[in-house]
């Protein structure tokens, strides 16, 4: 049995990731409509009712915009950092009712079905922003996007993962000469913004050297990157570091991906 990852969407317009192991299924973020989530899960023979949990990385709209409707229709337990839970309760008061929200302490695992999940802090401009590490069947996978820089908390958490979804948001030169106004460029390039292709390549090399066999590039900017540019940059850095054997993919922006398995 394999630990499987699918992206239901990935990019600045919406993010949603599925982790599956046997009959256990977890969703990371709900940044697309409930209809799209339900339809794309349906393609895999699943419904939101099959989910053992929904884990939220942070409360920016491209990660939670489908959450309210999804949780009104399906009683899915939600897991997030304490700060993110508090922010979710303010934004969507109905989530504060009952036993929907569950606060996670970074580094402390929680068992959800057959998958163990734990969070780790990420440097991003949202309260309590985290990434997630999953383990099942002796395999480890990670979801880590929305990073301003490669913080020690991130590097330490990702040691010896087999599969990782990592952010390759932008090409720095394209961002500097592109359509974004200056203040937005500074936000993206800042310490709590997003990873460039080159920074993603650096992280990818670290992951490959610690045992990762499969990497998926995610959260690409539609205006300041392309799948070809991101993959070319990261692939070149991996090959230059002697890590050319890693399987490297780019998550599609607004459709169900193939299965990424370990």
Measure the CA angle with vertex 147, ends 249 and 77; round to 5°: 85
pLDDT score at 153 = 86
CA distance 74 to 83: 24
More reliable by pLDDT, 91 or 201:
201
User: Cβ of 94: how many Cβ atoms within 10 Å?
Assistant: 11
pLDDT score at 219 = 98
Label residue 194 left, alpha or beta by phi (over 0 means left) and psi (-120 to 50 means alpha).
beta
pLDDT digits (tens, 9 = 90+) for 90-109: 988 888 777 899 999 999 99
pLDDT digits (tens, 9 = 90+) for 219-252: 999 999 999 999 999 999 999 999 999 999 999 9
Which 3 state secondary structure label does DSSP give 133?
strand
pLDDT score at 201 = 97
Least confident of 34-38, 52-56, 87-91, 131-135: 87-91
CA distance 225 to 250: 12
pLDDT score at 97 = 74
Query: What is the 3-state composition of the chain as percent helix, strand, coil, each rounded to the nearest 5?
Result: 30, 25, 40
pLDDT score at 125 = 96
Task: List the domains of the chain with CATH numbers.
Answer: 4-261 (3.60.15.10)
Residue 246: closest CA among 216, 226, 220: 216
């Amino acid at each position: 049995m394999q630990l499987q990852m699918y992206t239901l969407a990935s990019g600045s317009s919406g993010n949603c990731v599925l982790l599956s192991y046997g009959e256990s299924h977890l969703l990371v973020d709900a940044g697309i409509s409930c209809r799209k989530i339900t339809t794309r899960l349906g393609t895999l023979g699943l419904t939101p009712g099959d989910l053992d949990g929904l884990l939220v990385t942070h409360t920016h709209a491209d990660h939670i915009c489908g959450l309210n409707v999804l949780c009104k229709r399906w009683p899915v337990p939600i897991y997030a950092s304490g700060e993110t839970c508090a922010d979710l309760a303010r934004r969507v008061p109905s989530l504060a009712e009952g036993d929907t929200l569950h606060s996670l302490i970074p580094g402390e695992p929680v068992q959800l079905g057959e998958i163990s999940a734990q969070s780790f802090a990420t440097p991003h401009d949202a309260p309590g922003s985290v990434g997630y590490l999953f383990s099942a069947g002796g395999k480890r996978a990670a979801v880590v996007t929305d990073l301003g820089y490669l913080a020690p908390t991130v590097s330490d958490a990702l040691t010896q993962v087999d599969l990782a979804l990592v952010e390759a948001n932008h090409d720095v030169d394209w961002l500097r000469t592109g359509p974004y106004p200056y203040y937005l460029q500074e936000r993206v390039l800042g310490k709590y913004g997003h990873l460039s292709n080159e920074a993603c390549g650096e992280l990818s090399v670290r992951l490959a050297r610690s045992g990762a066999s499969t990497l998926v590039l995610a959260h690409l900017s539609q205006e300041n990157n392309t799948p070809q540019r991101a993959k070319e940059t990261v692939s070149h850095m991996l090959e230059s570091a002697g890590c050319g054997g890693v399987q490297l993919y780019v998550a599609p922006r607004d459709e169900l991906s193939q299965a990424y398995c370990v």
